[in-house]
Structure 1
Amino acid sequence: NQTSNIEADDNARLYELWYSQKFIGERLAFRIGKLDLGHDFMVSSVGLNFLNASFSWPILADNDLYDQGPVSPVTTPAIRLRYTLSRQWNFLFAAADDNPIGAPFINMKDPWNQNRDPSGTRFNFNTGALFFGEVHYRRQISGRQGTYKLGGYFDTGRFPDQSDFRKSHKTNWAIYGIVDQTLQHFGRKTELDAF
């Protein structure tokens, strides 16, 4: 696990490259390309104020997916859809390659596998597909804004057994929830938030 969400090996790499289009009065947003799914999924907007890995991409996906998942500095070919039903409700879906650079799940010499693809131009489609889904609900309680997210992912790849790495299992999944809630306003520019 990296100690910071800004930590990466010293390389000039292709990070993200995508095309985006909006439909249905801009309520449906479609994006395709090389994406960092950590911008849209499993992210707390309050937690992003902190510069360390504890509050960005969570340890659940970090230890559960290939290459720590398709997030900085290793991104993946993907399609992402966002549908805005109303001011309160958003729905997100993504389909991506589950192993951006084709590295083994466990690599003791290079645990982050960044050196297998220092340029960010290697595309792997050999291990499986990764699907994300997330629902966002926004609501004010006594004038205090809150955002509640429920999501999950499903990976079709093969993963080592946690008790015996010589064995492997097909598929991997998780369900998660995220809450960002304003607790108190102090004047016009200061507030106390929890996540």
Structure 2
Amino acid sequence: MYQRILISFIAIYSLNLKAQSDSTKSWLEFEAVYSALPWYNASGGIETGFVYIDNADVTAKINFDQIFNLKENLTLFVYGLGNHGGRATDLMGDFQVASNIEAVEAWRIFELWFQHNFINDRISVLAGLYDLNSEFDVLRPGTLFINSSFGIGAEYAQSGVNGPSIFPISSLGVRFSTFVGDRTRVRLAILDAVSGNPNDLTSNEIHLSKKEGALIAGEVSVYTSSDFSEDERNVDRSYVTRRRKVGRQHDVYKKDKINIGGWYYTSDFQSMDGSEPEKGNSGIYFGIQKYIPLDAEDDYIAFFGRYGIANHQINRYGSALSGGFVMSNPISGFDDNFGLAFSSGLNGESFQELQESSENAETVFEFTYSLPLASWFLLQPDVQYVVNPSTKEELDNPLSFALLIQFSIQNL
């Protein structure tokens, strides 16, 4: 396994150097990130023990507007994803998935899309294999954390036959995005409701059918900072574990924001109690992020919170609540960050009636510290404690320790 990783990384690095050697290739943006996540469950859960999790992201964006001197932005984005397949969940027994790079062992094309922007990027149209969570239901301070529920809400992530179009399997669709006025961004996406093949989690199969239906997602983001400007992009790449992707940086704002979003599947779903199929598999969510400057050096403390609900007759979780804070540069001289957060997934009424446990919520607490020692090398120790894992009374609360080790190369 380690020889394969080393050979892959050397090959990627060689390709990157070749791309960098020719300064005329500004039309090509390239990045490769290898994330290793050794994980130890010290107590509780299903069993104590160690597991090794890893993730390789190789992305490239071709800017056709640079090649053909076009006035409007036209790009092709390709994202290759590889996973070793270690699972912290097998040790901890949690439902929310403690590691956001946990996936079955596979190499796949995760995203492949064209995007055309108009009117100085105020209107954007995208089509292809698309990671919904790259733009929808994102609170920027939450991207520091490793638990999956801080990337996308637990009630949203559970939805669909094979999950929505998010890591590690995306689906085919279109996404529209526009700014309304100076502070409000509106997004709408229509995607194949079934990502890949539910019977083969290594597959990125595309199969469109009326029976499987579509996932319709919408979101409105309102930027409330008094100094917000659409032309001011604040890109801090020091602590993003799964969103370190070329092609995303122009959408990242380190500013106060309110998110209001919702999702709906057009197909029928089996009800939780096994009765007649149900229509209306849907949910809504609300999120907020707030940045408080600490000094003139752009240091800050950021708070975030999110609450979402889902149809409890179809989905296990009827609602989910999360929140936390992140502080930048707590140690002078380093571009480091630390954060503390929690996420609670609450069983819906229908699931609670079926399960034998009296517990109705799983809550995870996470403390993490991100330390970039170089532009290409990051260390991030992480501690997670889960209360009522999978709301099973027979499982003790697990306490786990992990260390994210991340290498990156890029020609940006």
Question: Normalization by structure 1: what TM-score?
Answer: 0.85
| 2:206 counterpart of 1:123 | yes
1:54-111, CA deviations, whole angstroms, 9 ceiling, x for partnerless residues?
20111111223222211000100010011023441111000001111253xxxxxxxx
| Residue in structure 1 matching 2:177, options 82, 98, 111 | 82
1:30-60, CA deviations, whole angstroms, 9 ceiling, x for partnerless residues?
1000001011111111101112212011111
Alpha-carbon separation, structure 1, partners of 2:227 and 2:190:
38
Amino acid at match of 1:60: E
| 2:132 counterpart of 1:132 | no
1:114-169, CA deviations, whole angstroms, 9 ceiling, x for partnerless residues?
xx14142x11223111111111111226999410111111111121212x135321
| 2:298 counterpart of 1:192 | no
Question: Which residue number in structure 2 is paired with residue 59 of structure 1?
Answer: 154
1:14-93 equivalences under 5 Å are 14-93=109-188
Question: Which residue number in structure 1 is paired with residue 277 of structure 2?
Answer: 168
Asked whether the 8 Å contact 1:6–1:52 carries over to 2, the reply is no
Gaps of 5+ in 1: 104-112
Asked whether the 8 Å contact 2:113–2:127 carries over to 1, the reply is yes
Tell me the secondary structure at the aligned position of residue 127 of structure 2: strand
| 2:294 counterpart of 1:152 | no
Amino acid at match of 1:124: H
Max Rg structure: 2
| 2:289 counterpart of 1:180 | yes
| Residue in structure 1 matching 2:190, options 92, 95, 110 | 95
Alpha-carbon separation, structure 2, partners of 1:54 and 1:174:
16
Distance 1:8-1:119 versus aligned 2 partners, 3 A rule:
same
Deviates more, 1:61-70 or 1:76-85: 61-70
Tell me the secondary structure at the aligned position of residue 130 of structure 1: strand
**Percent identical across equivalent pairs?**
24
Question: Which residue number in structure 2 is paired with residue 107 of structure 1?
Answer: none
Alpha-carbon separation, structure 2, partners of 1:184 and 1:26:
29
Distance 1:23-1:145 versus aligned 2 partners, 3 A rule:
closer
Alpha-carbon separation, structure 1, partners of 2:226 and 2:118:
32
Q: Which has the higher contact order (CA 8 A, sep 6+)?
A: 1
Number of residue pairs aligned between Structure 1 and Structure 2: 182
Distance 1:184-1:165 versus aligned 2 partners, 3 A rule:
farther
RMSD: 2.1
Question: Normalization by structure 2: what TM-score?
Answer: 0.42
Distance 1:142-1:101 versus aligned 2 partners, 3 A rule:
closer
Asked whether the 8 Å contact 1:12–1:119 carries over to 2, the reply is no
